[in-house]
Amino acid sequence: MKSKQVATMIFILLGMGAIIAGVTSARSFFFSGAEDSKKAWRSGHDELGPPTRAKLRADSTTTITSKIGEEAPPLFPEAESPRTSSYDVELHIAPEVLKEAQRRIGPRLKLIQRQLYWQSEDRILRKIPKFDDVRQATKKSASEIMEARSTGWEETEAVLELAQTELDAFWDAGGLGSSQAYGHGYLARAILEVALDHAPANFRLLALLRETVSATMPMVFADYRRNDDAVKVLWSIVERQRELVESGRAPPSPMTFDAMYDWIQLVVLRTGRPQEAAPAWKWLVENAEAGGWAGISDICKRGLEAARRGRNYSAMIYICPQSDAQADKAFVVKAMHGRRLRSLKGSRERRAQLSPIWAPDARHTMSGLSR
């Protein structure tokens, strides 16, 4: 009996120690260098300010920000110094016992950390204006910038470069967790929307618009409620892309794969009927060779079979490998890019390591989830 009590105490102490260590580690990774990066970022960027901003800079490296909220509060308050104990306790724990405790506690700790991270993002999201509230003013700013650069809206490459620059600035400024980032994301979206007013069937512009909306609008909140506004906007984009794909105006390619895969994710999310995704799965199966994803044709076939049976099937399509030494950093990057479309490319840092699952060196890391 005594041995059982001792074992129970050991596991409780281990659990408390792991949680404290994990929270401390998370805090250091979430917020280390935040002030330095904030100062560096502010020193090189303008402020968008009110929607009727008069002055615009035309330099290609200029990015625009928006003061539309306040910084996210710290996720973890500073801990008080522990009281000095009047006695010391020394525990001798077998390595296998410690390993098992870490195995059991680790995943739950990660879930707690991720929830706290997303909750801090949602606090910012609730305080900033929605894009619809500033759409006209932001599109006007986008037009003025293009005019100042002497760039025509028909110049797709220039438009994509400018929008991507703003989207990168959104991620560099902290993504959803920083009110200072949204001005960049909104401007990127406005640039693409104006360009699509001139060329509504431009598949590449639609692809980056889908990426931008996904970046700035999570599909679910931290409590897993669906973000209907995000789903509605993203659905309108993928529907336009699907029409271009099925009409043959957008030939099979990795870019069309992303669009059709996102369409599958969204149609199931909207309707709750996995069978609605069967036509898109069928297209992915039939065009695997031509599009370049023949290496995962088996995944597409499983998806089609599952849809026909009324079951949802999902597999990650991009992986971002990390070494064990980068595990904590990888967790932050993953949480920062969570709650989005499967095709999301994200920040420059993430894109530099991202690999599609049909790449030969990525096959061994694939995972499929069927339910």
pLDDT single digits (tens) 236-247? 999 999 999 999
Amino acid sitting at position 120? S
Q: How far is Cα 180 from Cα 48, in angstroms, rounded to an integer?
A: 10
SS3 of residue 224 by DSSP: coil
Average pLDDT over residues 62-85: 37
pLDDT single digits (tens) 307-336? 999 999 988 888 877 644 466 677 788 889
Domain ranges (residues) in the chain: 214-371
Q: How far is Cα 62 from Cα 179, in angstroms, rounded to an integer?
A: 19
The mean predicted confidence, pLDDT, of the chain is 78
What φ, ψ does residue 369 adopt, rounded to 5°? -125, 125
- pTM for the model stands at 0.72
Q: How far is Cα 93 from Cα 207, in angstroms, rounded to an integer?
A: 54
Tally DSSP H helices, then E strands, for the chain: 14, 6
SS3 of residue 311 by DSSP: coil
Query: Measured between alpha carbons, how far is residue 214 from residues 175, 220, 232, 247, 364 in Å?
Result: 11, 11, 11, 25, 28
What sign results for the dihedral spanned by CA atoms 22, 25, 27, 30? Answer: negative
User: Beta strand 318-319 with 355-356: parallel, antiparallel or unpaired?
Assistant: antiparallel
